[in-house]
Amino acid sequence: MAVNSFLTYPLSWKPDRETLTRPIYLSLARQLKEAIASGTLAPGTRLPPQRELARFLGINFTTVTRAYKLCELKGLLQAVTGSGTFVSSSAARSVTISTEAARPALIDLGFENPFQVLPDQIRNLAREIAGRKTFPRLLDYACPTGMPHQKAAGVNWLKNIGLETDPDHLVLVSGTQNGLALALLALFDPGDRIGVDTYTYANFIELARLHHLQLVAIGSDEEGMRADLLERQHRLNALKGVFLMPSCCNPTTRMISERRKQALAQVIRKEQLILVEDDIHAFFTAGTVADYQGPLARLVPEQSLYVSGTSKPLCAGLRVAYLVFPDRFREPLLQALFNVNVKTSSLDGEIITELILTGTATAMVRKKQELAAERNRLFFRYFPELEGQGHPLSFYRWLPIPDTRSGAEVEQDLQQQGIRVYHSDRFLCGKRGLQAYLRVALSTEPDIVRLEQGLVRLRDWIRGKKEK
């Protein structure tokens, strides 16, 4: 191997040339991974251009390219066209959001746990279902895509938010996250690129990493993802699909306007992209937001995989979501479903179905709308400058903060204040900007007094940062 004698070469990262072993691209990728894990390369660091690093190491340019590409597939790097290659904001740690590591003493403004309402009605329905002669049918492997009457109820339920389908194009899956995982497994191959909002659902970022998919950030404005930028990025990066949450983007609370949906549908149709639509907040948008006319998937049904979960509008513990698909996706989707899920719990599906058929589901949505309105009013009492931004009934708010430290440092600092909250780094795809944010969950703390205490501490923390 040739050796470059310029030991003071000005590079942001200088691998140890002496320890490189064959195959060199794997050894180089391993050093890169270790540098990120150790903190030597911080999130957002711009890596040396491939040709410069190759000259420094005295190796072939294509070897560096292969190492960078391997790390990009693993989610460690993010290539930004025209700007370079950067360490991913989530490379050094998992951005998965769950209750696994929750500390009860903290006021939880982090994990978004939807309001729990009407538990007595759910309990009574479950008892009534358990007493039926047909109850044993809910406990076997039959009907892996959902029992016929459960699918019919799902079809009628989705009509409330403007989506028309039929039982032959709808399956029950084990929650929205499961539906998204099945979509990626069935329709995408390792290395495929998917366009996403610059800030998007953290657990989707982790799913993409697990499936070795590359996420490409698409810019947006107050109406949602920009169609012209989606088209531009497709030409630059050969996107295979796009992932959107049109009814209320998690974490920004931004809604995609009907005009923008039409423009996005035109690009999706023209470029033959696969639309993966997570419409988890639609039941809080239909009838609330005047501009809402229905999901984006209704405009491009032959290219869409549409997921509508019941965890937010109904009950988080009953893991049921409705997944709607066109004929062209049937075979790969069902193959993924049968091999990953075997089936979704018919018992969970039956309880959800009875909630819909008895009208209890509608009452639950209305109650949650009331609770969301109350908690948003409380949030705007302490952060009035944000009123009118985003979804009016969001279960979380997107709060700009005057702090440029890493997300991990900010989250740790706020834990010292007794608050668990999530930083925008967890949701970031692409290059980090100057403005940082917090996603503030409003629905998790059951006691509104405790929620208010957390908001007061958060406001005071921000004031303290501004005064420094």
Domain ranges of the chain: 22-85, 105-115+364-465, 132-359
Query: What's the pLDDT band for 8 if we cut at 50, 70, 90?
Result: low
365/95: higher pLDDT? 365
Q: Quickly list H helices, 160-272.
A: 176-187, 202-210, 227-237, 258-271
Mean pLDDT, range 231-239, rounded to an integer = 95
Cβ contact 112:441 at 8 Å: yes
Cα 160-162-168 angle, rounded to 5 deg: 90
Instruction: Kindly give, in sequence order, each residue whose CB lies less than 8 Å from that of residue 16, ignoring residues fewer than 6 positions away.
Output: 31
Q: Is 399 helix (H, G, I), strand (E, B) or coil?
A: strand
Same fold: 22-85 with 132-359: no
**Assigned architecture for domain 132-359:** 3-Layer(aba) Sandwich (3.40)
Question: What was the pLDDT predicted at 41?
Answer: 82
Query: What's the pLDDT band for 367 if we cut at 50, 70, 90?
Result: very high
Question: Is pLDDT of 94 > 70?
Answer: no
CA distance 7 to 258: 57
Question: What was the pLDDT predicted at 269?
Answer: 98
Work out the angle between the directed axes of helices 346-357 and 148-159 (0-180°, nearest 10): 50
Question: What was the pLDDT predicted at 95?
Answer: 67
How many Å separate Cα 87 from the centre of its chain? 20
Question: Is pLDDT of 468 > 80?
Answer: no
Question: The tokens 């609770």 sit on which residue?
Answer: 371
DSSP category for residue 114: P
90/301: higher pLDDT? 301
Q: Which structure tokens are listed for 175?
A: 């929650």
pTM reported for the whole predicted model = 0.85
How many Å separate Cα 459 from the centre of its chain? 26
CATH number, span 22-85: 1.10.10.10
Cβ contact 410:423 at 8 Å: yes
Question: Is pLDDT of 5 > 60?
Answer: no
Residues 385-420: tens digit of each pLDDT: 999 999 999 999 999 999 999 899 999 999 999 999
Question: What was the pLDDT predicted at 388?
Answer: 94
Q: Which of 96, 112, 116, 102 is nearest to 318 (CA)?
A: 116
Question: What was the pLDDT predicted at 3?
Answer: 43
Question: Is pLDDT of 321 > 90?
Answer: yes
Question: Is pLDDT of 459 > 50?
Answer: yes
Question: What was the pLDDT predicted at 204?
Answer: 96
DSSP category for residue 282: G
Residues 124-170: tens digit of each pLDDT: 999 999 999 999 999 999 999 999 999 999 999 999 999 999 999 99
Which segment of 58-72, 179-193, 240-254, 340-354 scores lowest on mean pLDDT?
A: 58-72
Four-CA torsion 295, 228, 436, 212, nearest 10 degrees: 80
Question: The tokens 């005057």 sit on which residue?
Answer: 402
User: Is domain 105-115+364-465 in CATH 3.40.630.190, yes or no?
Assistant: no
Mean pLDDT over all residues of the chain? 92
Cβ contact 227:264 at 8 Å: yes
Question: What was the pLDDT predicted at 88?
Answer: 81
Query: What's the pLDDT band for 93 if we cut at 50, 70, 90?
Result: low
Question: What was the pLDDT predicted at 12?
Answer: 84
Question: What was the pLDDT predicted at 268?
Answer: 98
Q: Which structure tokens are listed for 114?
A: 């939807």
